[in-house]
Amino acid sequence: MLEHQHNCEEQGKFVGKAYDLYIEAEVAKKRINELKQQQHAKEIEDLKSRHLSMKLEIEQAHLEEFNKFNKEWDEKITQFEESAKQDEAKLEDKQKEDFEVVTSQILSKLPEKPKSSSEVLNLEKILKNLVKQKKYSWYLL
């Protein structure tokens, strides 16, 4: 188009119909400006389209990474909970064993027949004496 405009300008110097050629050159100039504006608008639209495409790709990558992170985190939480349950069961078993050991130690230290206190022994002696004397009235009180 620029060549056509240039040709029209040159031809206008040597030809008598210069007015028509200058008008044609002006039309060509306007057409060139329109084409430049269209090209510029197309470039801007392409740039916006690429920007949007890149933005969508980044968002999609972010979402995939976020989902991957959540999945890995959920797996870690599940493993931790399983480990905690196993540790809890081990601790419970150990506590039961310790309880049994301590209980058996305590029971082994206790006498098989408990000893009566001096007061109980004294009361039993009084009771035997009352029975020997055939005094049963204490029982009715």
Indicate whether 92 pLDDT > 90.
yes
d(CA 109, CA 102): 11
Q: What is the pLDDT of residue 132?
A: 84
Which residue stretches of 1-141 are H helix? Answer: 2-14, 18-109, 118-132, 137-140
d(CA 132, CA 124): 12
Taking residues 33-43, what's their average pLDDT?
Answer: 95
d(CA 32, CA 39): 10
Q: What is the pLDDT of residue 135?
A: 73
Q: What is the pLDDT of residue 15?
A: 46
pTM: 0.45
b vs e for 36-56, b when ≥16 Cβ sit within 10 Å of the residue's Cβ? Answer: eeeeeeeeeeeeeeeeeeeee
Task: Map out the domains of the chain as residue ranges.
Answer: 2-109
Q: Which residues lie closer than 8 Å to 25 by C-beta, 6 or more apart?
A: 5, 8, 9, 12
CA-to-CA dists, residue 36 to 25, 28, 39, 49, 125, angstroms: 16, 12, 5, 19, 129
Confidence grade of residue 89 (pLDDT, cut at 50, 70, 90): very high
Mean pLDDT of the chain: 85
Distance, CA of 68 to chain centre: 10
Indicate whether 9 pLDDT > 70.
no
Taking residues 34-60, what's their average pLDDT?
Answer: 96
Please indicate whether residue 134 or residue 13 has the higher confidence score (pLDDT). 134
109-126 per-position pLDDT tens digit: 877 777 778 898 888 888
73-86 per-position pLDDT tens digit: 999 999 999 999 99
Taking residues 95-111, what's their average pLDDT?
Answer: 90
